[in-house]
A = this chain, B = another copy of it.
Amino acid sequence: MENFGLCTDLYELTMAQSYLEHGKTGNAVFSLFVRKLPENRNFLVSCGLETLLEKIESFRFGDEELRYLKSLGKFSDSFLDYLREYEFRGNIYAIPEGRVVFQNEPIVQVEGPLPDVQILETLVINVIHLQTVIATKAVRSYLVSRGRSLVDFGFRRAHGLEAGIYAARASYITGFAGTSNLEAGRRFGIPVFGTVAHSYIMVFDREEEAFSAFAKSFPQNAVFLLDTYDTIEAAKKTVELAKKGIRAVGVRLDSGDIKSLSREVRRILDEAGLKDVRIIVSGGVDEYKIDEWLSQGCPIDAFGVGTKFITSADAPYLDMAYKLVEYDGKPKFKTSPGKRTFPFKRQVFRFYRDRIMDHDEVVPYREEAGGERLVREIVREGRLTEALPSLEEIRERLMEDLERLPQKLKSLKKAEYEVIIK
């Protein structure tokens, strides 16, 4: 796809046509926020802004898109002309990527003529939602990982290739060491890691033959996968091969009772003097497992985190909305039960106590409340106001926020943070 203009819902365009017909082209502000955190989340990690800005630049309508829209028989020629000329020239206010954020905080606010900002709704939610869901999930593994390495192994079960690629990005900013995903490695400069699959072991007649063949191909990086047939026997073969000078840098356990296997494998390796051979665990790994294993002292050095993380299986979506909050200078809000919104473009002020986050206040944009301002003007009249941070900088910013995060919010147990809306 060259033009992303059709990455929208039909009603965005019918509304826009109707706005134009009725002269509703005044200045509007839409706010992207999460109404309520999922039960299993104590905070969110803002992520996806750079991707969104790229996609907004490509949110255009070319001949092919216009031909399709015309074929629907709903749109006037003058509206199709409007779309042909469409290019976002409004303002975007956002909380930068890699910040800890909470319910009802405006992660992205888009300002401009009403039709121009209405039709971005689907794109804005879709792009920010995905990476925020994943970063918010991934950071939970980081917070319980006690210095162990985490690697994204989830690409195959992400919801599409695009989701896998952006999930690698989102997890990297939360402290993951890297990913197995080569496209993400190329695109974002994220370190890539890999071991071997069971198929590799199975094509050799004997397991030890497979181990030594792989070590011969990659003498600096060989990880032996132990659980194809019998994990303990495979650990013993690892020791025998080491005696012949065929060394693994690590072994991987992908199934079975990890608690006892990791200890037994460690013992076998240590007794043979292979203390530097790392134990990598994969297969159904998530923050709950990591926390359980490490709190019981299992000797695991690294985790391949896969399916449950990359689908955010225990909270696969956020209650994220993009709502009109201001039109033509007037406050806008709805009063639907459970879906009330708050009017006006807003700033978020964060207050600290002893360098730890204490509470946030969400106030109309021009008001002053003291504290740290989280929302920045990122785009002014269609142009970036400043260079975007690198992925490393985003990662460092999140690490700073995590240092200032109250201890109770770092736990896998539910805890609340105070957000005052004024």
Residues of chain A whose beta carbon lies under 8 Å from any beta carbon of chain B: 1, 4, 6-15, 17-19, 21-22, 24, 26, 28, 30, 55, 64-65, 68-69, 72, 74, 114, 118, 121-123, 125-127, 129-130, 133, 153, 155-164, 166, 180-183, 185-186, 192-204, 213-214, 216-218, 221, 227-230, 254-256, 307-308, 311-313, 316-318, 320, 322-324, 327, 332-339
**In contact, B217 and A160 (Cβ under 8 angstroms):** no
Contacts of A228 in B (CB 8 A): 334-336
Task: Given A9-B194, A199-B323, A230-B335, output 7 extra A-B contacts at Cβ < 8 Å.
Answer: A6-B185, A11-B194, A22-B216, A126-B161, A127-B160, A228-B334, A316-B316
Instruction: Give chain B nearest CB distance to A383 CB in angstroms.
Output: 24
Q: Could you say how many copies of this chain the assembly holds? A: 2
Instruction: Give chain B nearest CB distance to A131 CB in angstroms.
Output: 9
**In contact, B125 and A14 (Cβ under 8 angstroms):** no
A212 to B228 alpha-carbon distance, docked (Å):
67
A421 to B258 alpha-carbon distance, docked (Å):
29
Contacts of A1 in B (CB 8 A): 183
Interchain Cβ contacts under 8 Å between A and B, 15 examples: A1-B183, A9-B182, A10-B180, A15-B196, A68-B185, A68-B186, A69-B182, A160-B160, A162-B163, A198-B334, A202-B324, A203-B324, A227-B336, A228-B334, A311-B317
Instruction: Give chain B nearest CB distance to A4 CB in angstroms.
Output: 7
**In contact, B7 and A197 (Cβ under 8 angstroms):** no
A160 to B228 alpha-carbon distance, docked (Å):
34
A55 nearest in chain B by CB position: B161
**In contact, B9 and A332 (Cβ under 8 angstroms):** no
A72 nearest in chain B by CB position: B192
A421 to B7 alpha-carbon distance, docked (Å):
44
Q: With A72-B192, A130-B159 as given contacts, are A203 and B24 in contact (CB-CB < 8 Å)?
A: yes
A193 nearest in chain B by CB position: B10
**In contact, B334 and A202 (Cβ under 8 angstroms):** yes
Contact of A203 among B28, B155, B161 (CB under 8 A): B28
A256 nearest in chain B by CB position: B337
A200 nearest in chain B by CB position: B15
Contacts of A327 in B (CB 8 A): 202-203
A9 to B153 alpha-carbon distance, docked (Å):
8
A123 to B129 alpha-carbon distance, docked (Å):
24
Contacts of A24 in B (CB 8 A): 203-204
**In contact, B126 and A182 (Cβ under 8 angstroms):** no
Contacts of A313 in B (CB 8 A): 316-317
Contact of A159 among B14, B28, B133, B204 (CB under 8 A): B133
